[in-house]
Structure 1
Amino acid sequence: MKRTERFLVGVIGAVAAMGLMPAPAAQAADGYDRCPVGYYCMFSGLDGTGDMIKLRHSTPDLAALGMDDRAKSDWNRTSSTIHLWSDASYFGCTSVISSGPTGKGNFFPSYRDFFSSVQFDGPGGPSCGTLPGAGD
């Protein structure tokens, strides 16, 4: 076999072998980035970690989704104002989560493991209290 033919055979073999190699796997989203656009998401851990639920509609009982009194962080990726209720069926007190960049983060310590229902664009209810440091 001539030198040129051996070179071509080698190049063709290398190209064929490269085509058989698996492509690198896409990295799965983690933390807050697991929450898709158009959803309100709650996480059982801080900073978007732990179990996640994603909602598009009002949910009167988070126990049905395994998130009753378990959420520690959230992200509102909807255009709706979200009212988090302390009790199921929209009873108790509420905390408001706006849409946009301010609608993402950890709950204040007193609001962690606290909420039991989620209402989209509702009238809300009595406030769960003044945020720490407000009015100081």
Structure 2
Amino acid sequence: MKHTKRILTGLASAVAALSMASVSPAYAADGYDRCPVGYYCMFSGLDGTGDMIKLTSNTPDLGALGMNDRAQSDWNRTSSTIHLWSDTGYTGCTTVTPAGPTGKGNFFPTYRDFFSSVQFDGPDSPICAS
């Protein structure tokens, strides 16, 4: 009986210690951090919120990915300069998102919900006026 009581006391102490231990949940990326290295990402909301698409190659029609005229922010985590076109098939006017730390942020209000195609390292072209 004395042996059983000692085991139960030890078990109760172990349970109490475990219940006081801090359990931290796994980190779930949010905002811009959802964009993996090596990708160009567009977001339907400001500051990397909302729906996200991630690209590694030219995309002539963002409508096929549900992002035509919906993007409000982006992050270029590639080594390419990204050309954002106002119309499908790399037509209309364009603006660029550079590679590197400056390639992340909200689009100017004029360019929110505006772009229809994305070209990696595209040619110089008519720049969209704000």
The interval holding the TM-score normalised by the smaller chain is 0.7 to 0.9
Residue identity in the other structure for 1:51: D
User: Structure 2: where are the runs of 5+ without partners?
Assistant: none
CA distance in 2, matches of 1:123, 1:63: 22
Q: 1:115 aligned to 2:99?
A: no
- Aligned sequence identity (%): 70
Corresponding residue of 2:95: 95
Describe how 1:1-136 pairs up with structure 2 within 5 A: 1-2=1-2, 6-12=5-11, 15=14, 18=18, 24-129=24-129
1:100 offset after TM fit, Å?
A: 1.0
Residue by residue over 1:57-116, the C-alpha shift from the partner in whole angstroms, topping out at 9 and shown as x without a partner, is 110000000000000000001111100000000001110100111100000010011000
CA RMSD in angstroms, aligned pairs only: 2.4
Could you say what secondary structure the match of 2:128 adopts? coil
Question: TM-score, with normalisation over the residues of structure 1?
Answer: 0.82
- C-alpha distance in 1, partners of 2:10/2:40? 53
Unaligned runs of 5+ in 1: 132-136
Task: Report the Cα distance in structure 2 between the residues aligned to 1:46 and 1:116, rounded to whole angstroms.
Answer: 18
